[in-house]
A and B are shown apart, each in its own frame.
Chain A
């Protein structure tokens, strides 16, 4: 016997699973700290590659000046400045990533909680039907 309420609920759940739920479920598999940690690590790697690219372009841009002045330069001070720049950029980007993904994680959990509540409701509908 077909149950209208049950089918409607199942349709909503299937639609959620096929769309937004797919992404949220992937997020929901992680603990909060693990999920945010992984994203921060990815961001740090991305920012490091971006920094290397930009630094490489800077070196190529100023190659002639660097080659002529490399013996006069304070290389330690130069390296320190570069490292400080790197730390600033990567650190700032990591903080931004933390904020963005903490927000996304909380939103996904909330959405999944709603989904699980609907699953429980569906389960109770089945039980009710079996009892009759």
Chain B
């Protein structure tokens, strides 16, 4: 466990130092994977399938805000739809616009879930998303997760029925339109999945907010079980043929992934190194605020064991020293306080207070209780 905590600290240290490079690279990779995924599943417009275009758009996404990744992915999907049939693109456009106007107006930062959700479906682990959003988001994140489910099932439906759309004559525009809308509205599997994921997000959120020990772990396990139960109930009620063979391993892998994410990502304050500039009447200040890094070293306590015989002969001290040197006990208590209420019994690492090192024109360094000297 200590090794894991040290790895976490190492990741944190690397991130805080190299954040300027790591974030664009991550954004680039997300955009690249998302666009390649769209092209692989749909791929009806040959021009968009070329790697240079995908790379250029992914590069653009790497230095633009995350919302642009969502925008580019949506644009790619619509262009592929248009190449297949304009009616499909029309329905897709209306659906995306309704999502933007009604749902993402409140929490634009959640829009990235719509990109991640189809990717997770592609990896057969969509169950990780409601768990993750329940852990880091709010109950409103259920809306984003549901939108992601809709986008996945829409693209899946279109890719499965692409030949039918191609085969229909140009004069059957209304028929194609009806086919798409029916495909969305009558998709019971999609509706059951949306209900299961929405409930999971809300339940995970409620449990992880409870002031009980291991609330995050309990929330993840309860969310996984609830998700499986609702999906199986939906399968029984609507006969939607959910594969139990895929559901159970997928859920367990998702639970494991959520636990890893919780340990390495969610419970860690990846404080950024900030650079601020200001001035007063006397000076210009160029300040670099560096997150303070602390790994709490587990305290070692020596337990003295005095046997009655040793005490009687006056050699107890020596005996105790020998015993303790052979069997040192390690205390799991940390003096740094609670980092995460959900991880009792684990050597804790102190919560990272945001820290700032002040460098002025005089090259002086200051440190307060949050700040460290570099």
Contact = CB atoms under 8 A, between A and B. Distances in A.
B278 A10 contact: yes
B156 to A, nearest CB: 20
B98 A54 contact: yes
B101 A50 contact: yes
Interface string A1-24: 010101110111111001000000
B91 A8 contact: no
A50 B181 CA distance: 16
Nearest to A1: B282
A108 to B, nearest CB: 15
A57 B181 contact: yes
Contacts of A2: 283, 360, 362, 364
Contacts of A13: 278
Contacts of B105: 42-43, 46
A102 B106 CA distance: 13
A49 B277 CA distance: 43
Interface residues of A, number: 29
Contacts of A8: 356, 358, 366, 368, 371
A49 B97 contact: yes
Nearest to B94: A53
A54 B174 contact: no
A47 interface: yes
A25 to B, nearest CB: 16
B245 to A, nearest CB: 37
Given A8-B371, A53-B98, A57-B94, A14 B278 contact: yes
Contacts of A49: 97, 101
Nearest to A9: B368
Contacts of A93: 102
Contacts of A12: 356
B280 A10 contact: yes
Interface string B336-374: 000000000000000000001010101010101001000
Contacts of B356: 8, 11-12, 15
A18 B98 contact: no
B270 interface: no
A54 to B, nearest CB: 7
A14 B276 CA distance: 6
Nearest to A93: B102
B174 A64 contact: yes
B97 A50 contact: yes
B274 interface: yes
Contact of A7 (B98, B174, B274, B366): B366
Contact of A47 (B94, B102, B285, B360): B102
Chain B contact surface mostly: mixed
A31 interface: no
A11 B177 contact: no
Contacts of A54: 94, 98
Contacts of B280: 6, 10, 126
B209 interface: no
A126 B360 CA distance: 18
A46 B100 CA distance: 9
Contacts of B368: 4, 8
Given A50-B97, A60-B174, A100 B106 contact: yes
B149 interface: no
A65 B315 CA distance: 103
A61 interface: yes
A38 interface: no
A15 B177 contact: no
A46 B102 contact: yes
Interface string B67-108: 000000000000000000000000100100110011001100
Nearest to B177: A60
A51 B181 CA distance: 16
Given A46-B105, A53-B94, A54-B94, A7 B276 contact: no
A8 B358 CA distance: 7
B101 A47 contact: yes
Contacts of A43: 105
A50 to B, nearest CB: 5
23 contacts: A7-B285, A7-B358, A8-B366, A8-B368, A11-B276, A11-B356, A11-B358, A14-B276, A15-B274, A15-B276, A15-B289, A15-B356, A46-B101, A46-B102, A50-B98, A53-B98, A54-B98, A56-B94, A57-B91, A57-B181, A61-B174, A63-B174, A100-B106
Interface of A: 2, 4, 6-8, 10-15, 18, 42-43, 46-47, 49-50, 53-54, 56-57, 60-61, 63-64, 93, 100, 126
Given A46-B101, A50-B102, A54-B94, 6 more contacts: A2-B362, A11-B276, A50-B98, A57-B94, A57-B177, A93-B102
